[in-house]
């Protein structure tokens, strides 16, 4: 069967999908090229001299890895000159990045987590890049963070790259979820899975069990029932998986089902949650919903949240629809 490359896929999508115009197609191709550069840097590891701490911190007060900084720079540089963007915002930067004056400006905003799961870098475990595309609102300067404060339901595209044994790009433009694998010999992303669907039921869950003592009662109830297995109220055995890289954990769930949880708990309550709404929860929530899953904070649909600040954090429960709905029901019951 003749391979379908990312460019061909996007051109065909442009022809049948009014939302995917030429500028959006070209923007996604630029992001994909940037991901290939990041994949190369990640793949070199210690040979590239990019492991270890950068000696700097991000807006959240977290220590940055060298690859965090490099990945952020790659995405900024790749997208600055194409004429498709009005501005960019990154988890690693305090404020939005404006397009240099010598370059034309487009009608989209790009938001990204340049290297998700970077605590895994130095131990050679999968990490990834997450991105979200919004339309630039009229009448708001893209240098102003208010331009980016849009509910996740308004996204026109979202995707992630996972840098594992193979590099994969998983993408939605609002018409389903499709996966592309990087052919390293050709240097091109090739369509390998179309219209991915998350099973509605599952026997796997993903959560950081070391936080169990901090969980709220609904999450504690759900996990306890899973752990009781066949003898418990669920009547089946569950497996727990945890990579500590949202990209890797959610990619597994999109591939074979499951539920990913980073819920509100006593440790994160003051800041509203652990994961960033604009850079992680919204794009991954959009992808999960497009694949037939659900994404919630436990109290509301993630994509309905109206952001109030650029680096806002939220609780996240996403994956197989029936499991997410069960956790949400437990939250309603209190």
In order of their start, the domains of the chain are 6-193 (3.30.540.10), 204-333 (3.40.190.80)
CA angle (155 as vertex; 153, 156 as ends), nearest 5: 130
- Mean of pLDDT values over 163-188: 96
Residue 80 has pLDDT above 70, yes or no: yes
Q: Which residue has the higher pLDDT, 64 or 225?
A: 225
Q: Which residue has the higher pLDDT, 125 or 250?
A: 250
d(CA 272, CA 204): 26
Residue 205 has pLDDT above 90, yes or no: yes
d(CA 257, CA 324): 11
d(CA 87, CA 106): 9
Q: Tens of pLDDT along 239-287? A: 999 999 999 999 999 999 999 999 999 999 999 999 999 999 999 999 9
Q: What is the dihedral of CA 316, 90, 140, 144, to 10 degrees?
A: 110
Residues of the binding site: 91, 113, 115-119, 208, 274, 280
* Confidence at residue 214, expressed as pLDDT on a 0 to 100 scale: 97
Residues of the binding site for substrate: 116-119, 208, 274
d(CA 38, CA 113): 12
Check: CB of residue 53 under 8 Å from CB of residue 65: yes
| Confidence class for position 95, pLDDT limits 50, 70, 90 | very high
* Average pLDDT across the chain, whole number: 93
- Mean of pLDDT values over 108-120: 93
* Confidence at residue 61, expressed as pLDDT on a 0 to 100 scale: 58
Q: Tens of pLDDT along 28-74? A: 999 999 999 999 999 988 887 767 675 565 656 565 678 889 999 99
Residues 6 or more apart whose Cβ sits within 8 Å of residue 213 = none
Q: Is this structure's pTM higher than 0.85? A: yes
Nearest by Cα to 326 from 188, 219, 182, 191? 219
The 3-state DSSP class for residue 201 equals: coil
Query: Phi, psi at residue 101, to the nearest 5°?
Result: -60, -25
Query: Which of the residue ranges 42-46, 180-184, 270-274, 292-296 would you say has the lowest mean pLDDT?
Result: 42-46
Residues of the binding site for Mg(2+): 91, 113, 115-116, 280
Strand partners, 185: none
């Amino acid at each position: 069967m003749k391979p379908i490359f990312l460019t061909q896929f996007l051109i065909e999508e442009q022809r049948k999908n009014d939302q995917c115009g030429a500028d959006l197609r070209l923007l996604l191709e630029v992001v994909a090229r940037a991901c290939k550069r990041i994949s190369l840097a990640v793949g070199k590891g210690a040979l590239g001299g990019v492991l270890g701490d950068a000696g700097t911190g991000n807006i959240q007060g977290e220590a940055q890895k060298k690859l965090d900084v490099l990945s952020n720079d790659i995405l900024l540089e790749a997208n600055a000159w194409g004429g498709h963007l009005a501005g960019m915002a990154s988890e690693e930067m305090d404020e939005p990045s404006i397009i240099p004056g010598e370059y034309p400006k487009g009608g989209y905003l790009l938001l990204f987590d340049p290297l998700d799961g970077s605590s895994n870098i130095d131990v050679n475990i999968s990490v990834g890049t997450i991105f979200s595309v919004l339309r630039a609102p009229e009448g708001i300067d893209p240098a102003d963070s208010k331009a980016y404060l849009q509910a996740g339901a308004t996204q026109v595209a979202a995707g992630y790259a996972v840098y594992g044994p193979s590099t994969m790009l998983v993408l939605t433009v609002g018409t389903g979820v499709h996966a592309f694998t990087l052919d390293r010999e050709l240097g091109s992303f090739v369509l390998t899975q179309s219209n991915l669907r998350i099973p509605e039921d599952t026997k796997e869950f993903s959560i950081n069990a070391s936080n169990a003592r901090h969980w709220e009662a609904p999450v504690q109830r759900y996990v306890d029932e899973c752990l009781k297995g066949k003898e418990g109220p669920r009547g089946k055995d569950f497996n727990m998986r945890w990579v500590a890289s949202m990209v890797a954990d959610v990619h597994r769930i999109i591939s074979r089902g499951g539920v990913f949880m980073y819920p509100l708990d006593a440790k994160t309550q003051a800041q509203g949650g652990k994961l960033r709404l604009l850079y992680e929860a919204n794009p991954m929530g959009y992808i999960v919903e497009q694949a037939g899953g659900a994404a919630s904070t436990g109290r509301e649909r993630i994509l309905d949240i109206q952001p109030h600040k650029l680096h806002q954090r939220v609780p996240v429960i996403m994956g197989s629809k029936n499991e997410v709905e069960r956790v949400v029901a437990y939250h309603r019951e209190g």
